[in-house]
Amino acid sequence: MRKNVRFNCGIYNKKAVQKSVLAFAHLAKFIVKDSKDYIEVKISNIDNEVEDVFIDEFKNYALGAVKKCL
């Protein structure tokens, strides 16, 4: 299953998103692309055991990382 998550650059910074990708790298594969307004993360090969909660947990982690990466 493949999922796409878009992070608004007005709220999130690339460092926070990259930190999140590294923290979750053992559970899925990621491709990060950024544009002027968004950082898009394409996620595939999500571990079956966490697939139901993965996207929500990934987004929560990224939001928490924003404060640490200011």
- pLDDT tens-digit series, residues 39-49: 999 999 999 99
pLDDT tops 90 at residue 12: yes
Closest CA to 66 of 44, 31, 39, 27: 39
Q: What's the pLDDT score for residue 69?
A: 72
pLDDT confidence of residue 42? 98
List phi, psi (to 5°) of 8.
-70, 125
How is 32-69 classified by DSSP, letter by letter? EEE-SSEEEEEEES--TTTHHHHHHHHHHHHHHHHHHT
Q: What is the CATH number of the domain that holds 17?
A: 3.30.70
pLDDT digits 0-9 by tens, 23-43: 999 999 999 999 999 999 999
Number of Cβ within 10 Å of residue 70's Cβ equals: 7
- The tally of domains found in the chain comes to 1
**pTM here?**
0.91
- What is the pLDDT at residue 70? 64
Q: What is the mean pLDDT of the chain?
A: 94
Range of the domain at 56: 3-68
